[in-house]
Amino acid sequence: MSGLDIFLFGVFPYICLTSFVVGHIWRWKHDKFGWTARSSEWYERRTLRWASPMFHFGLLGVIVGHFVGLVIPQTWTEALGIHENVYHAFALIGGLAAGLVMLIGLVGLAVRRLKTPAIRLATTPNDKFMFAVLGVVIFLGLSVTVYWQLIEGGYNYRESVSIWFRSIFYFNPQISDIAAAPLLFQLHALSAMFLFLIWPYTRLVHVFSAPVFYLWRPYIVYRTRDAETEPGAALTPRGWEKSELPGQKTSKR
């Protein structure tokens, strides 16, 4: 284990995670009104309509896959009777499908941004940098899956990468585990850490204000205006009212 390994896998993750947490708090305190996805739906909808759901639903699949592969120990899935070969087959098919859907969505969003003049003008160097980093993380993730799991027939990262990943959160990083993993896994993990480092200073902050509670919002109750006498109906008429001259008799509606 070299000094570089210690820095990259034992120190750098903490720099990134500190930036992630402190950066979000700082951004919320100093830039509440800049806390937005800066939607460009107004300028172009045709591509956005398929590219955005593809990117976000693909991402959802990738998050679920990463949770199972990185957070849940192999011993737990084995205790449930899920053999490594079965896990591997599911991770390969599900991961590839979700990763490809996400990549196609990201390419669609990037092309739309470049091809629509108004959106191109509204794209800052910060956005371009964030898109590039996101693209590298996804590309390296897919390369890992295609090369190691499909072409090479499988590498059990749950015995190395996943152990290191969990150990970060116990504040006892198992550096030798990830240092022994193939280079592509290391590069993917490092690029993901870098994404977490820059996250709070980009438009990715919108993830924490996505209107998910909309799914559970109370029903909107519509009432007919004719039923003014029914219990609970609005008694005061809404909208424009006829203007009346002074002394004019109020007409009966």
Binding site for ligand HEM (CB under 6 A): 62, 65-66, 69-70, 91, 95, 98-99, 102, 137-138, 141-142, 144-145, 149, 157, 161, 165, 185, 188-189, 192-193, 195
CB under 8 Å to 131, separation ≥6 — which residues? 106, 110, 113
Q: How far is the CB of 139 from ligand HEM (least distance, A)?
A: 8
Strands (E), the chain: none
Shorter beta-carbon distance to ligand HEM: residue 109 or 116: 109
Amino acid symbol at 123: T
Q: How far is the CB of 11 from ligand HEM (least distance, A)?
A: 15
Q: How far is the CB of 71 from ligand HEM (least distance, A)?
A: 10
Query: What b-and-e string marks burial along 230-242, b requiring 16 or more CB atoms within 10 Å of the CB?
Result: eeeeeeeeeeeee
Shorter beta-carbon distance to ligand HEM: residue 71 or 118: 71
Shorter beta-carbon distance to ligand HEM: residue 69 or 200: 69
Q: CA 133 to CA 146: how far, in whole Å?
A: 20
**H or E element at residue 191:** helix 183-198
Amino acid symbol at 70: L
Amino acid symbol at 190: L
- Nearest CA among 183, 195, 186 for reference residue 132: 195
Shorter beta-carbon distance to ligand HEM: residue 48 or 106: 106
Shorter beta-carbon distance to ligand HEM: residue 25 or 93: 93
Shorter beta-carbon distance to ligand HEM: residue 5 or 44: 5
Distances (CA, A) of 34 to 27, 38, 128, 165, 202: 9, 8, 17, 32, 10
Helices (H) and strands (E) counted in the chain, each on its own, are: 10, 0
